[in-house]
Amino acid sequence: MTAVLRTENVTRIYRTGAVEVAALRGVTMQLDVGEMVVLLGPSGSGKSTLLNILGALDSPTDGRLFFRETDLTHASDRALTRYRRDHVGFVFQFYNLMPALTARENVALVTEIAANPMPPEEALSRVGLGHRLDHFPAELSGGEQQRVAIARAIAKRPEILLCDEPTGALDSATGITVLEALDQVNRELGTATAIITHNAEIRRIAHRVIHIADGRIAREEVNTTRLKPSEVRW
Binding site for ligand ADP (CB under 6 A): 14, 16, 21, 23, 41, 43-49
Q: SS3 for 76?
A: coil
By C-beta, is 48 or 191 nearer to ligand ADP?
Answer: 48
- Closer CB to ligand ADP, residue 46 or residue 137? 46
Q: Is 88 within 8 Å of 55 (Cβ atoms)?
A: yes
The CB-of-110 to ligand ADP minimum distance in angstroms stands at 25
DSSP string, 4-48: EEEEEEEEEEEEETTEEEEEEEEEEEEEETT-EEEEE--TTSSHH
Report the alpha-carbon distance of residue 226 to residue 87 in Å, rounded: 26
147, 127 Cβ separation under 8 angstroms: yes
| CB closer to ligand ADP, 164 vs 180 | 164
Give the Cα separation of 119 and 136 in Å (integer).
18
Cβ-based nearer residue to ligand ADP, 44 or 130: 44
Cα 223 versus chain centre, distance:
19
CB of 162 vs ligand ADP, minimal distance in Å: 12
| Shortest distance, position 227 Cβ to ligand ADP, whole Å | 23
Name the strands in the sheet holding 216-222, side by side, starting at the edge strand that comes first in the sequence: 88-91, 160-164, 192-197, 36-40, 208-213, 216-222
Q: Which CB, 111 or 167, lies closer to ligand ADP?
A: 167
Tell me the closest approach of the beta carbon of residue 16 to ligand ADP, in angstroms. 5
173 C-beta neighbours (distance < 10 Å), count: 8
Q: Which is nearer to ligand ADP, 49 or 177 (CB)?
A: 49
Cβ 165 to ligand ADP, closest distance in Å? 8
Q: CB of residue 134 vs ligand ADP: minimum separation in angstroms? A: 35
